[in-house]
Homo-oligomer: A and B are copies of this chain.
Amino acid sequence: MRVVKPYGDTMDDGKVQLSFTLPVPDGAKGREAARKLVLSWGFKDCEVVHSSPLSDEFSFYVAYGKSESSIDYDSVVADEADSDGTMSMDEVNEFIRQNIGRKVVVVGACTGFDAHTVGIDAIMNMKGYNHHFGLERYPEMEAYNLGAQVPNEKLIEYAVKVNADAILVSQVVTQKDTHIHNMTEFIELLEAKGLRQKFICVAGGPRIGNKLAVELGYDVGFGRGAYADDVASYVVNKIVEKKQR
């Protein structure tokens, strides 16, 4: 067991910086309310080092607190579809030739009302992103990028049409949990059609964690800093795993 606390300038001093707004006017009372609030989060000491009015009814606070709580670092299980097992593009293609023996078909889109295609393009387009080529460039893959604002229904139709192995869903806008509603609808639609087992379902986007994706019924989720090779590695391994079952 390795107990870990935040660090300011001395081991275990527990120092944390916070800032937030309160719906109260700025002033001594507001600052005291801010301080109490920080203490209510289990901080031992709290200093409100700055306050300023945002309007007559709102005020802004900067505070430093000293955390009492700690966590057992050894018990923490990293939950990100991490890139440790990632193969390079060439390795993926070789893997496909060796273990699958046919082209792997992938369909992707930015679904619902979401029009943020840069993320899915980063994964799929020829040119890729940050010196990682996209799936379209993989000789052993067939990649179809349907672009922006694709309804779930249409995406599934297309995946059936091209007999896809995997469907890639990108969701960037998360305000009011719109991504959760949309991602859930996608899985429900698949299930209603009895197609969930047919496809490997991959979700992605800057605020999508693996945990969330799995909770919503996807096989995996990729967040910030994901590259095509991470996704490709996951998909081809999963295909082989599915075959073996």
Please report A residues at the B interface, Cβ cutoff 8 Å: 4-8, 11, 15-24, 27-29, 31-33, 36-37, 40-43, 47, 58, 67, 69-71, 73, 76-80, 82, 207
Contacts and interface: CB of A to CB of B under 8 A. Distances in A.
Contacts of A77: 29, 32
A6 B20 contact: yes
A200 B131 CA distance: 70
A23 B7 contact: yes
Q: How many copies does the complex hold?
A: 2
10 contacts: A4-B24, A4-B37, A6-B20, A6-B22, A7-B20, A16-B18, A17-B19, A28-B80, A29-B73, A40-B69
Nearest to A29: B78
A43 B82 CA distance: 26
Contact of A32 (B27, B69, B76, B207): B76
B71 A37 contact: yes
A76 B7 contact: no
Contacts of A18: 16-18
Which of A27, A32, A207 has the largest count of B CB atoms less than 10 A from its CB? A32
Contact of A33 (B27, B28, B43, B71): B71
Nearest to A174: B47
Nearest to A27: B78
A235 to B, nearest CB: 20
Given A7-B21, A17-B20, A41-B67, 20 more contacts: A4-B37, A5-B23, A6-B20, A7-B20, A7-B22, A15-B20, A15-B21, A20-B67, A27-B78, A28-B78, A29-B77, A31-B78, A32-B79, A32-B80, A37-B69, A37-B71, A40-B69, A40-B71, A42-B42, A47-B207
Contacts of A73: 24, 29, 33
B23 A11 contact: yes
A128 to B, nearest CB: 22
